[in-house]
Structure formats: C-alpha cells, structure tokens
Structure 1
Amino acid sequence: MIGLKKGRYSARQATTQQDIADAQALRARCFGLAHDEDLFDAHCKHILISRDVDDSLVCCFRMMPLTGADISRSYSAQYYELGALESYDGNMVEMGRFCVDPTVADPDILRVAWGAMTAFVDAHGVKLLFGCSSFAGTETADYLDAFAMLKARHLAPKRWLPRVKAPHVFKFAARLRRAPDVKKAMVRMPPLLRTYLMMGGWVSDHAVVDRQMNTLHVFTGVEIGAIPPARKRLLRAVVG
C-alpha cells in the first residue's frame, strides 16, 4: 500500500469507491470530458495526491501490474501491437490517466507523484514501466521537432518495438527527414514524456491519432534497470 508525504502534499493508494470516483472526476476535468471511466479502472491501483491543508485532490494516476504473458490486457494494447513484449522477462506495470489539476501549478506535485511511482515499482519488483504519452490535440504540425527528436534519440529497441494496430497513426520515424531543433523540441515535448526520456525511456516509431481523447500519443517504455543512477537517487530521495 502506497503512503507518502512530502512538503505540502501526500500520496496514497485509493481504498474506496469514492476515492476512485474522485480520481475519475479529476480526470474528466483535466481531459475535458463529461465523464472518464472505463473497464480498466477495476484492474488498476489508483494513486491519489492531495494537498494537506485542505485535503483537495490535485493529481492522480493509475497503475496496472502485468507480465509479458498478459500484456494484451493492457490499455495500451488497444492501440499498439505489443506481441514483441510478450517475451519480456520480468514484472511490468502500466501507468496511465496521469493528470494534474490545471489550476494548481507546483513542481512539488510531480515530485511526490514520481516518488509514489518509485515506491510502487520497488514494492512490486517492476522491471518495465510503460504507458501512452500524450500530445495535446491531433494535429502534428506543432510537434514535428519533438517527433524528430524522438526518432533521432529515443526509439524503442527493435526487439521491443510496438507495431501499428490503430487505424489512424502518424508514422514519424518513416516520414520525417528533418534534424530536430532541440530547443523547439523540448518546448513542445509533453512534461510527462520529458520525464520518461530523462529516465532513459523509449517510444514507438509512430503516434496514434486518438480523436476521442483529442490527443496524439506514443507508446513509452522505461526499463528500470536502465535508469541513470543519478536519476534513481533523485527519485528515491523523495521516497526516503
């Protein structure tokens, strides 16, 4: 069971249906939906981050423990052909529906969130953390430098590379020939994906065009053993 307090915020695992309903309500607000609930919620551990002074929910995400043998049960498997990862040797966890209340701007929230994620990974002996990292909107033009950087530096190892499954995708690795403008790329890179990349994360060679969620997203994997030591120390400093 996750329980973590740092500064003005506390992270804990949902224990009641009301906790999950509160997380779903925050997700709906953040994603601009009338309601956000799906069949995967029942199979996930939900992590809630609250502000201590008023116990208001400011961030949430969910984590689904898996192995390679049952990766087809994941949320990501709806959009990506993940057959290559069926032979992955080790525990996995899918991290999804990550959101932060847009009215609250405090970097400590993300620090506590990553501390809670680290505690979960350590407790469950996780070897691979994965999920879908989203760019806002479905137009690619504003993100070409970001996609070019993903192609140049962060594509998945061929042995784990997700294949195309969704009907509408942007095959950026095949289509882009430009060298990335690093400054523009980092400005347009989603903050969550940027953090994954700093941990040595890798991505699919294509982005899924998800019109229902109004996003472009890339499959993202982080092999825990490959996280740079300095980054591991920072993450575990929050836990400790």
Structure 2
Amino acid sequence: MTDDARYVARQANGPEDLRRAEMLRAARFGRADGADRDAFDARCAHLLVEERATGRLVCCCRLLFLSGGGEIAQSYSAQFYDLGPLARFEGRMAEIGRFCIAPDRPDPDILRVAWAALTRLVDARGIAMLFGCSSFAGVRAEAYLDSFAVLRARHLAPRDWGPRIKAPSVYRFAERLQRYRPDPREAMRLMPPLLRSYLAMGGRVSDHAVIDRDLGTLHVFTGLEVGAIPDRRKRALRALPG
C-alpha cells in the first residue's frame, strides 16, 4: 500500500473493485453503457488510487505481467502494433493499461501516488521493462502536431525494439512531421500526464500513432527500460511515501 495525506493506492480485491475501475474507465473513454471491460481484465492485476477521506476512486490502471519478450504477443498492445522486435527482449515485463484519472480530478498528487505504487510493484517483481499504449483524447491527429513533432525529434524507440505498423488506421507522425517546427510548451501541455511521466524517465515511443475509434483515442506505443532510468530519478521514485 502507498499513501499520502489525501490518497491511498492498493491492488483491487474482488469483483466489486474491478467494477468500480471499469466504471471509471467508461467515464474516461466515454462509454455510453457505463462500463469498460474486455478479456484482458481477468488476466491482469488492477491498481486503484482512492481518496482517503471519502473512498472515492480517482485513478486506476491494470498490469499484465510477462516473463519476457517471448510472451509479448499475449499483450493488449500486440493487437495494434507489430511487436516482433521486442520478442527478443530478455527480462520480465509489465504492460500498464487503461490508466485513467477521474476527469474532474486533475491533481498531480494522484499521479504521484500511482507511480509510487507502480515503483514498488516493479521492484518487487524484478521488472526490466514497462510498456503500454499512451492515449491522447480524440482521434484528430491535427490537434496534437506539436506533441507528435516533439516525440519524433526526441523520443522515438530504438530500431532494435521499436514497434512496426500493424493497425489499419494510423498517423505516421515520424514520416509526416519531418519539417514541422513544434512549440515545446504547447507540446508538453497537450502531452498526456502518463506519457509525460514515461518520457521524464527515458521512455521511448513508436514512430506512429494508432487511431483507435473504438475508445475514441490516438495512442502511441510506449516502452521504458527500467535499467535506463537515471539513478537520481530512481531514488526519487523509491523515496515517494508508502
């Protein structure tokens, strides 16, 4: 368990906790039926961040643990990206998915508490890589050109594990924005909070965004090799309260 004065993080325990997470996800992704669920939920551990005073769920995500790159085809991300290069990755992996913060609670402490809990899970399980799909709201790539241009210039995955195109509908920002000059401030303002956290730790992204009309998002594959996180950043994460 990880906590601060206002929020507490814990793993889900039972179907009621999962139902609450699915309802928060539905609110985040605009699901009209009031719940967001799929077959991956049963295979994942689910992390909840709750408001201490009220018990209200303000953040959730799910984690799929893999013994190594040989299991990468079993991941949610593999539905949308050709992850063949990562099949050679040696070391335990964890896919972080469906990361949601309550739409009316843009409190940075929520993200901090979530990362404190994730850090402890990574350490406890000896995870060597974190990965997942980092989502931008909406499906209009034009709204995020500055962000995509910064990702292209600074944060593309290396060739030895960068994912290839698989989804039928994508925006090839690395190819299309070669001459685009981004506004760095605007780029970071529009960058999803989870993706900003990944990038601050050395995370890398795919060279294209998948247009996911089912969830109403654009997402980029994001990978973070735990061993490449700067030592100062590791110490800061491990020093978070918990």
Q: TM-score range by the shorter chain?
A: over 0.9
2:210 to 197, 208, 211: 208
Rounded Cα–Cα distance in structure 2 between residues aligned with 1:214 and 1:55: 29
Partner of 1:167: 168
**Greater Cα shift, 102-111 or 33-42:** 102-111
The size of the alignment, in residue pairs, is: 238
Partner of 1:48: 48
Partner of 2:59: 59
Compute the displacement of 1:193 (Å).
0.7
Rounded Cα–Cα distance in structure 2 between residues aligned with 1:195 and 1:52: 24
Rounded Cα–Cα distance in structure 2 between residues aligned with 1:231 and 1:53: 30
Counting only pairs closer than 5 Å after superposition, residues 63-74 of structure 1 correspond to structure 2 as 63-66=63-66, 67-74=68-75
1:182 to 173, 177, 184: 184
- TM (norm. structure 2) is 0.95
Partner of 2:103: 102
**Structure 1 residues 122, 24: closer, same or farther in 2, change over 3 A?**
same
Rounded Cα–Cα distance in structure 2 between residues aligned with 1:24 and 1:210: 18
- 1:146-199 CA-to-partner distances (Å, cap 9, x unmatched) read 111111100001000100000000111111121322122112211111111001
Unpaired runs of at least 5, structure 2: none
Amino acid at match of 1:29: A
The answer to whether 1:120 aligns with 2:121 is yes
Amino acid at match of 1:20: L
Q: Is the 8 A contact 1:68 1:89 kept in 2?
A: yes
Rounded Cα–Cα distance in structure 2 between residues aligned with 1:205 and 1:109: 29
**Percent identity over paired residues:** 57
- 1:4-50 CA-to-partner distances (Å, cap 9, x unmatched) read 22221111111211111111111111211022000000010000111
Partner of 2:148: 147
Compute the displacement of 1:222 (Å).
0.7
Amino acid at match of 2:141: T
The answer to whether 1:4 aligns with 2:2 is yes
Amino acid at match of 2:39: L
Compute the displacement of 1:124 (Å).
0.6
**Greater Cα shift, 128-137 or 29-38:** 29-38
Partner of 1:221: 223
Partner of 1:157: 158
Partner of 1:87: 88
Rounded Cα–Cα distance in structure 2 between residues aligned with 1:136 and 1:168: 16
Considering only aligned residues, what root-mean-square deviation do their CA atoms show, in Å? Answer: 1.1
Amino acid at match of 2:223: G
Compute the displacement of 1:103 (Å).
2.0
Compute the displacement of 1:105 (Å).
3.2
Compute the displacement of 1:239 (Å).
4.7
Q: Is the 8 A contact 1:71 1:86 kept in 2?
A: yes
